[in-house]
Amino acid sequence: MTVQAPLTSRSFGTSRSFGTAGTVGEFETHLTLTATDADTGAALAHWAQTRGLKYTHIVLARGQSPSQPMLSWTAAGTFQDQLDRAEELAAALRMDGFTTVRVKCEAAP
């Protein structure tokens, strides 16, 4: 099950919600950021490493957003726990000059 959920009434500002906050399980959460140049990508990779996050830079052949730097992590707990951590990380990224454009939280079946 994939849950793609910008945070409701928070920094990602949409009223659309998926699942329930109390859903418990194993999750993999991804933060997609705005496109970066090589220097910014290296800084983002270092930022992720110091926080125990996985950094991936997806580059597509075409499309509206062919460059998609992404931070990921896995954790067990509630869906709300994952959204709260995503919001905390997005705020920290913002303070350090990075912009989060999407949050995706995948739950194991």
Q: Is the per-residue pLDDT at 7 higher than 50?
A: no
The residue type at 104: K
Look at the alpha carbons of 6, 7, 9, 13 in this order and tell me if their dihedral is positive or negative.
negative
The side-by-side arrangement of strands in the sheet containing 54-59 is: 2-4, 100-107, 24-33, 67-78, 54-59
What span, in angstroms and rounded, lies between the C-alpha atoms of 48 and 41?
Answer: 10
Contact 28, 106 (CB under 8 A): yes
pTM, two decimal places: 0.77
Contact 104, 72 (CB under 8 A): no
Q: Does domain 24-107 have CATH number 3.40.50.300?
A: no
Tell me the pLDDT tens digit for each residue of 22-73.
788 999 999 999 987 888 999 999 999 999 999 999 989 998 888 899 999 9
C-alpha distance from residue 63 to each of 12, 33, 56 (Å): 23, 16, 18
